[in-house]
Structure formats: C-alpha cells, structure tokens
Amino acid sequence: MPSPTERPSVLFVCVHNAGRSQMAAAFLTHLAGDRVEVRSAGSAPADTVNPAVVQALAERGIDISAEVPKVLTVEAVQASDIVITMGCGDTCPVFPGKRYLDWELPDPAGQGVEAVRPIRDDIEKRIRGLVDEIAPAS
C-alpha cells in the first residue's frame, strides 16, 4: 500500500470498459476527488461507453459522456495499488504486491437504464465503503 503521503491508486477492470468499470471509476473520482488516483480499463474494450450507463450516472449528477473505453495494459496494473476486477476472468494480469478484489456484478451490456440503476447503486455503495477505507476525508 502507498505511504501516507502518496495517493492510493485504484484500477477498475471489466471486459468492455463500457459499463461497470466506468461507473466505478466515475463514482470513485466523484467521491474521493484528488485523494485517489483512478484508472479503468477493459480486457476487450468496446467502441463506446454504454449509453444506459451514461444516463444512469447523469441521474446522479456525474457526466461520463466524454469517456472512452480503454484497453487493459500491464503498465496500468503495475501502476495501481488496488486492482478491482468485475467479471474479466483470467484475462487480468496478476502481479505480486497488489491488492486484488473481485466484485461480482451483473453486466449492464445490452441493458436499458432500468436494469442499469440497481447495478449503479450497488457500485456506489461499494465505492463509498472503499473510499472510507483507503481515502477517508480528513
């Protein structure tokens, strides 16, 4: 883990980097601000972020309309203290000294905003717990 003077860094990984990992990264950035370094990536990134995910986050006052799915790189994993996977299976590289969490969440791909809202709310709850743990407000 980082020293008290360093910001913890978190990488969220899912297959397409178009839904779950985008929501998690957006909530962590929104809730922790500059206290945490945030990355997201996908093992097989989609062309665009899921429009229902963009809409569901907009309902919470978070705009991710300019986000673009990014490919998972070894460098992104190496640069992160905590790697949170969301259904990317064995495609996520594993390095010693990193903390790995696997969040089992339904995939919002192909779902309407009604189906995305409960996933969004679950992710928000998990992120709030993570913020309390790794970057509590002073």
Q: Is 92 a catalytic residue?
A: yes
Catalytic residue, from 26, 64, 86, 88: name it.
88
88 is catalytic: yes
In eight-state DSSP terms, residue 89 is: G
H or E element, residue 9? strand 9-14
Q: Spot the catalytic one: 10, 13, 14, 28.
A: 14
Q: In what order do the strands lie in the sheet with 37-42?
A: 37-42, 9-14, 82-85, 99-102
Instruction: Give me the catalytic one of 28, 92, 123, 127.
Output: 92
Burial of 56 by CB count in 10 Å (0-12 exposed, 13-18 middle, 19+ buried)? Answer: buried
End-to-end CA distance of the chain: 19
Catalytic residues: 14, 88, 92
